[in-house]
Amino acid sequence: MARFVFRLQRVKQVRTIQEAIKKQQWAEANRVLLMAQQKLADLKQEKTDVLAYCNRQADASVRPLAYLYIAKLERMISRQIERVQEAAIAEAAARREWLWARTEKEKLERLEAKHYEEFSYEQLRKEQRILDDMKNHLRV
């Protein structure tokens, strides 16, 4: 009996590799986004802590230095917000590329399944013809 050969097997392998690479790139972009969001949360928490510390202090000489530090934290927070937005855009683009690559790979997988189904059907038809011929020749 003949063996099934998918003629686009190499293309399918390339698409599988491309999909894995795109998935890895998306995972890296997602990791960068999560790290940027975590740093932003840390900066906001630090600002809250400094404000709370400032309000608890009775010594007025500490407050001007604390307010300078808070102003610096606010600048850092605004820069970090920009970084988070950039990372979110990069993550969304990487996710779109990965989903496109996955779709292309799945198209070839469906095509291979369809071709295999047609191949199996044809093989069963040939086998049935052979069995019918054998049955007809035995009766004579």
Residue 70 and residue 47 in contact, taking contact as beta carbons nearer than 8 Å: yes
So what's the pLDDT on residue 113?
95
Residue 73 and residue 43 in contact, taking contact as beta carbons nearer than 8 Å: yes
**Predicted confidence (pLDDT) at residue 139 exceeds the cutoff of 90:** no
User: Distance (Å, rounded) from C-alpha 43 to C-alpha 76?
Assistant: 8
pLDDT in tens, 85-105: 999 999 999 999 999 999 999
pLDDT in tens, 19-28: 999 999 999 9
